[in-house]
C-alpha cells in the first residue's frame, strides 16, 4: 500500500493514510491530543494551539500539520503539557469565565481541559476585560465574556449550516466574534437548531430558555476527563 505512511507518537509506531493530520491520525489510533478550536467535520483553524505537539523537534499544531513518513511526534511529554497548561491558563485570565453560574459548566471544553490538566488556579493575573453580551435575538445569545475566539461557530455556520451570520471583527485584544448585521444577532438568520450552536466549546454562543437542564453529576465531564472516549476506544480494541 503506497499511500500508507508510518510515523511515531511517544515512541509508538503508527500507520495512517497519507495526508492525515497528526491529530486525526492520533485519534484513529486511540491517542487523544487535547484540542479546543478543532472540531470534527469543519476545516481546521490552528488558532488555539492547545493541540501543540513536538513534531520532529519543533512545536507544531497537530490539527493543521500533516503527518510525514518517519515523523517523530511527542504528545505526552512534560514540555508539551507545560505549554498546553500555560495556554489554558491564559484563556482563563484573558476572559471572564465565571464557572459557578455558567450554563455550560460541566459541559464546557475549556473547563474540562483545565480539569484534565489538574489546574487548580491560573498562574497569571486576571485581566477582567469589559465585554458585551448580544442578547437581542429571541432564542440565541452571545456572551463575549466567555468567548475564546476559536472560530468554531464561524466555521460551522459557514461550512455546515451554509449561513453567513458570524465573523471576526477588529484585531488584537479587541478581536471578537460579531454578527453579520448592523444590530447584532437578531437581524441574522441564525437559529437555535443550527449546528453552529452545538459547536461552541464554551458558554459563549448559547440557546436561551434552557439553562441548567442537566443536573450536576450527569454532565459530560463530571466523572471522566475530556478525551476519555477516544482513549477508551483504543483500550477496547486492543483487548
Partner 1 sequence: MSKPKIATASLAGCFGCHMSLLDIDERILDLVELVDFDKSPINDLKKFTGKVQIGLIEGGCSTDENVQVLRDFRRHCEILISVGDCATQGGIPAMRNTVPLLECLEEAYCNGPTVYNPSGAIPNDPEVPLLLDKVYPCHEVVKIDYFLPGCPPSADTLFQAIVALLKNEPVDLPYELIKYD
Which spans of this chain sit near partner 1 (rule: CB under 8 A)?
A: 92, 96-102, 105-106, 111, 114-116, 118, 120-121, 125-126, 128-131, 145, 216, 222-225
The CA radius of gyration of the chain, in Å to the nearest whole number, is 19
Closer residue to partner 1, CB minimum distance, 36 or 114: 114
Min. distance of Cβ 121 from partner 1 in angstroms? Answer: 4
Round to whole Å and give the CA distance between 99 and 230.
26
The least distance separating partner 1 from the CB of residue 141, rounded to whole angstroms, comes to 17
Cell of 82: 507545560
Could you count the other beta carbons within 10 Å of the beta carbon of residue 38?
A: 26
Residue closer to partner 1 (CB basis): 69 or 217 = 217
Nearest distance from C-beta of residue 6 to partner 1, angstroms? 34
User: Whole-number minimum distance, CB 114 to partner 1, in Å?
Assistant: 7
Three-class secondary structure of residue 25 per DSSP: helix
CB 72 within 8 A of CB 22: no
Q: 52 vs 145, which CB is nearer to partner 1?
A: 145
Contacts of 49 (CB under 8 A, 6+ apart): 61, 83, 87
Q: How far is the CB of 105 from partner 1 (least distance, A)?
A: 4
| Residue 159 or 222 with smaller CB distance to partner 1 | 222
Residue 139 CA neighbour count, 13 Å, CB half: 8
Report the residue number, 113 or 154, with the smaller CB distance to partner 1: 113
Amino acid at each position: 500500500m503506497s499511500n500508507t505512511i508510518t510515523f511515531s507518537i511517544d515512541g509508538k509506531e503508527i500507520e495512517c493514510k497519507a495526508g492525515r493530520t497528526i491529530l486525526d491520525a492520533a485519534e484513529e489510533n486511540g491517542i487523544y491530543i487535547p484540542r479546543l478550536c478543532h472540531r470534527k467535520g469543519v476545516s481546521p483553524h490552528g488558532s488555539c494551539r492547545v493541540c501543540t505537539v513536538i513534531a520532529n523537534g519543533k512545536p507544531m499544531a497537530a490539527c493543521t500539520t500533516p503527518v510525514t513518513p518517519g515523523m517523530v511526534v511527542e504528545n505526552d511529554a512534560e514540555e508539551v503539557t507545560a505549554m498546553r497548561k500555560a495556554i489554558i491558563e491564559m484563556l482563563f485570565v484573558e476572559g471572564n469565565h465565571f464557572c459557578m453560574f455558567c450554563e455550560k459548566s460541566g459541559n464546557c471544553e475549556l473547563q474540562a481541559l483545565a480539569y484534565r490538566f489538574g489546574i487548580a488556579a491560573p498562574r497569571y493575573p486576571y485581566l477582567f476585560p469589559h465585554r458585551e453580551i448580544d442578547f437581542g435575538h429571541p432564542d440565541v445569545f452571545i456572551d463575549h465574556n466567555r468567548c475564546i475566539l476559536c472560530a468554531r461557530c464561524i466555521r460551522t455556520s459557514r461550512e455546515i449550516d451554509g449561513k453567513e451570520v458570524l465573523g471576526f471583527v477588529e484585531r488584537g485584544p479587541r478581536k471578537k466574534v460579531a454578527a453579520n448585521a448592523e444590530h447584532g444577532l437578531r437581524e441574522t438568520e441564525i437559529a437555535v437548531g443550527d449546528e453552529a450552536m452545538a459547536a461552541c466549546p464554551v458558554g459563549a454562543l448559547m440557546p436561551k430558555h434552557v439553562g441548567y437542564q442537566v443536573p450536576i453529576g450527569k454532565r459530560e465531564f463530571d466523572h471522566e476527563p475530556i478525551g476519555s472516549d477516544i482513549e477508551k476506544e483504543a483500550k477496547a480494541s486492543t483487548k
